[in-house]
Every structure is written in C-alpha cells, then in structure tokens.
Structure 1
Amino acid sequence: MRRSGAAASKKKSDSITSSATDLFRSASSKATTKEMDRIDHLFNQYANSSSNLIDPEGIEELCSNLDVPHTDIRILMLAWKMKSEKQGYFTQEEWRRGLKALRADTLSKLKKSLPELEKEVRRQLNFADFYAYAFRYCLTEEKQKSIDIETICQLLEIVMGSTFRPQVDYFVDYLKIQNDYKVINMDQWMGFYRFCNEISFPEMTEYNPELAWPLVLDNFVEWIREKQA
C-alpha cells in the first residue's frame, strides 16, 4: 500500500510539473508571437508595399526616425546583425532576424539597442567579420568581385576611420593619387585590416614585402617611406 501511495503521489507530482511546463511553454510561445507581430508591424511601417522590402527610401525614413545619419556606421552594423545580403534593402526575414536578436520590437527599443550593438561589433573577433561583411555588402552585382576606389575610400572612412585614423588617412590619400589601381578586391581589403592590426604606424619597421602582402600595400608602404625620407 505504501508503494502504491508513493507511486500515486509521484504520478500526481509529475502531472503538476508537466502542466506547469505546458503553461510556461504556452505563455512563452504567445509572448514570442506577440513580439514577432510587433516586429512585423514595425517592418510594415518602412517597407514598400509592392515589393515587401524596406528599400533605400524606407531606410532613409528609418534613419530619420532613429536620429541617425544614413551614412552612420551603426546602420551598417544593423545590416550586419540582420545578415542583409543586398545593399540598401532589408527583407522581412532579415528584419525579423536582426530585431529579434536585438530584442527590439519597437522603434524606441531599436534606438536604445544601437549603443550595445556597436559595442558587440567592436569586439575584435566580431569586428573582423564585420569588416569583411562591409566589403561584401557593397558589391552591388552578383558576379562583382571588386569595388571602385572612390567607394572604397568612403567605406574605409566609415568602417575604420574612428579606430585607425592615421592609417586610413594615409591610405585614402595614397589611393586617390595612385594610378595603378582602379578597384580594390577582397584580398586587398582584408590585407589593409591585417596591416592596421599587425604593423606599427608610422614606423612600419615590421613590414616585410616578402610576407605575401597584397602588392597595393607594398606600393603604399614604399610611398609613405619616400614621403618620410
């Protein structure tokens, strides 16, 4: 009888636990659904109804409402968080992914999340990924592999200017006066990131052109040394 009573008591306890778990899951599911509904509602405020995309006009309106210039690095960081594939456009899936990760289902919450997003991106491992993403994001055609010098200079200012100001200023000046390169590819772009992180500036005593640096950086270093001579 004791065993039977203990079994019945355990069964009752398990039933109560199961019911509580089901209630929690149900409440959590409803909360998630409501959150996604609010995220979708916010998306629809900026999306083009005919394409169901937030296009450049929608992004400009979003930036205005966030009190952030459309050239601000945080907008590029937001695109990175969404894993947006096409420059100037956010799909609903990308929007959901980004805002859910930021726990931002209202404009106010999205605005408040931007400083934390910037901190997240500027962690070293994340920033390397963001830096590479910034290049890919600016490829406007499917088979495009490189970006014109003018755009690269603007992108360097936005992405690296606040972190490596002297290096960016010198490299931008060099890119604008040189005649050997009309475009920059991903290898050259990532090479400059490595240069900023590994080479002391402006001394550059560690720089060795034999260590498989992109040729554009060999030429850049030679140009600086001539200016310093």
Structure 2
Amino acid sequence: MSGRIDGDISQFCSITGASTRDARKFLEAHKRLDIAIDAYYNNPNAFSNARRKGDTAAPSSSKINQLFDKYKDPEDDDITIDGTIKFCEDLEVDPEDVVLLAVAYELKSPQMGRWTRQGWVDGWKSIGADSIPAMKNALVRLRDQLASDPAYFKKGNEAWATLDTAQAFWGLLIPHGLKGGALARTSPSGDSNEAIRDGGWTADYTQWWFDFLNQKGPKGVSKDTWAMFLDFIRSINGNFSNYDMEAAWPSTIDDFVEYAKERFDNDI
C-alpha cells in the first residue's frame, strides 16, 4: 500500500508541479489520483491554511485588490478593455493570447476584456497568485493545461450568443487544442494508433465550419452546439464517414456534416 501511495505522490508532483506535502494532502482528501489532480487544478491552495510556519504564504486578498484597483476603469466598477490591455502589457502577454481564455474561466469573466472585483479576487486566490510575477508563472501552467488536458479545455468554454464571438474563441481554441493534444482524435476503441490512421480534424475543416456558420448556420450558437462541438472534433475521422446522424448531436452539427460531405464530393 505504501508503495502505491508513494507512486501516486510522485506522479501527482510530476503532473502538477506541487510539493510532496501538498500532493499528500490532496491524495489523502480525495483518495484517487485523477480526482486529486482535478481538485488541485481547481484550487491549488485548498490546504493553504494548514501550511506550516515558514511555508509559502497564502495569496493576499489585499494585494490582489490593489492590482484590481490599478487596472480598474475609473468610470466603471470593473476592469474593462483599457485596463485589460495594461494588465496584458504588465504580464508581457498578447491580449489575444489563448491563455487568456483560461484566465477568463478561472476569474469568471462576464465577457472577454472585462473583470469583476469578486471574480478577480476569488480567481487569483484560487490560482494562488497575488503579484504580477506570480501571475506570469500561473499563465505557464494554465497554458500547458489548456493545451493538454481535454477536460480542462472543455470546462473553460461557455455558451456565446453571437457567431462573431464564438468564431473568435474557436479561432484561438482549436489550433491550440490540436497542437497540444486536447483535441487529439480518439477512436471508439480507444486505440490511439487507429485514430492516427483514421485521420481527423484539420485546419481546413475549421475554416469549413466558419464558412458553414456564415453561409447557412444559425444567427447564434446554442449552448449545446458550443458544449458538444469540441467533442465532435475529437471524435470525427478524416472524411466524417463515422458520423452518426442518429446520435444526440445538435442539429447544427448534423447540418454541418452534410455541408462538409458536399464539399468532399465537389472536391473529388
């Protein structure tokens, strides 16, 4: 039993970069390695109050609030576009960098480029950062997690009302997820080699999706379409021949598959 626990702790630390002490705390609380890792990513400071004297201090609400006030719009209760641009300059990150989608999720941003005080404070406390250097370090982890963890990749998505907004997000998310593996093709059998042989989603198909939405799609993107589209990307093969029209996919995705198959036929 001890050997298994030690192995889980080692794996936990390797995946998350956490200390051995934190790994043990999360594993003791959640028992299973996968659940413990998810819990750590959701709140890496869950056990910060139990840290020993001399360990790294918990994030300071006061410092996080001071940063919020630094970027806050003087004529608004929130941080808005101008403050966001200044914040990105201090972080040395492009305002259109895909990692900001993960930050927006963690800080419960009501829309891109806007941050509420409560979401800002609660979010950065949960992430464990109360200074610009600490936030820069957090972005490294969030970027890696967004690219490589399918569950986190999907969790960070919300339903967006307009096509323009949805396409802007997909334009950032899809290339990042394909490159990092979060949107890697999966086969029904779980055989990764079979998935590779069978092909999968490409950058061309992303453009087809946008073409379809602009030409024939709905005026807005439904919650179901947004929530299931990334699963669709991961499941589809190179020519969409494995798509099941009888399955519980949103009708917009059904219509897109018909549209794509017509384009396949026209290209032959």
Of the candidates 226, 232, 236, which is equivalent to residue 189 of structure 1?
226
- Aligned equivalents of 1:50 and 1:150: distance in 2? 27
Shift of 1:25: 8.5
Flag structure 2 segments of 5+ consecutive residues without an equivalent: 1-49, 179-201
In structure 2, relative to structure 1, the CA distance for the partners of 1:52 and 1:154 (3 Å cut) is closer
In structure 2, relative to structure 1, the CA distance for the partners of 1:76 and 1:209 (3 Å cut) is same
* 2:214 equivalent in structure 1: 176
More helix by share: 1
**Mean Cα displacement is larger for which, 82-91 or 66-75?**
82-91
TM-score w.r.t. structure 2 length? 0.63
* 1:101 equivalent in structure 2: 126
Deviations 1:91-127 (A, max 9, x none): 2221112222222221122112201012233412212
Q: Please give the secondary structure, in 2, of the residue aligned with 1:190.
A: helix
In structure 2, relative to structure 1, the CA distance for the partners of 1:150 and 1:52 (3 Å cut) is closer
Q: Please give the secondary structure, in 1, of the residue aligned with 2:262.
A: helix
TM-score w.r.t. structure 1 length? 0.72
**What does 1:111-150 align with in structure 2 at a 5 Å threshold?**
111-122=136-147, 123-131=149-157, 133=158, 135=159, 138=160, 147-150=161-164
In structure 2, relative to structure 1, the CA distance for the partners of 1:168 and 1:25 (3 Å cut) is closer
Of the candidates 141, 144, 166, which is equivalent to residue 152 of structure 1?
166
* 1:82 equivalent in structure 2: 107
Return the letter of the residue paired with 1:76. Answer: L
In structure 2, relative to structure 1, the CA distance for the partners of 1:228 and 1:116 (3 Å cut) is same
Q: Which has the larger radius of gyration?
A: 1
Q: Please give the secondary structure, in 2, of the residue aligned with 1:181.
A: coil
In structure 2, relative to structure 1, the CA distance for the partners of 1:96 and 1:224 (3 Å cut) is same
Aligned residues: 191
* 2:253 equivalent in structure 1: 217
Return the letter of the residue paired with 1:189. Answer: W
Return the letter of the residue paired with 2:150. Answer: Q
Flag structure 1 segments of 5+ consecutive residues without an equivalent: 1-23, 139-146
Return the letter of the residue paired with 2:153. Answer: F
Return the letter of the residue paired with 2:120. Answer: W
In structure 2, relative to structure 1, the CA distance for the partners of 1:37 and 1:220 (3 Å cut) is same
Q: Please give the secondary structure, in 2, of the residue aligned with 1:183.
A: coil
Return the letter of the residue paired with 2:173. Answer: V
In structure 2, relative to structure 1, the CA distance for the partners of 1:171 and 1:98 (3 Å cut) is same
Return the letter of the residue paired with 1:37. Answer: S
User: Contact 2:61–2:130 at 8 Å: present in 1 too?
Assistant: yes
Q: Please give the secondary structure, in 2, of the residue aligned with 1:163.
A: helix
- Aligned equivalents of 1:187 and 1:99: distance in 2? 29
Please give the root-mean-square deviation of Cα atoms over the aligned residues, in Å: 2.7
* 2:186 equivalent in structure 1: none
In structure 2, relative to structure 1, the CA distance for the partners of 1:90 and 1:151 (3 Å cut) is closer
Shift of 1:62: 0.6
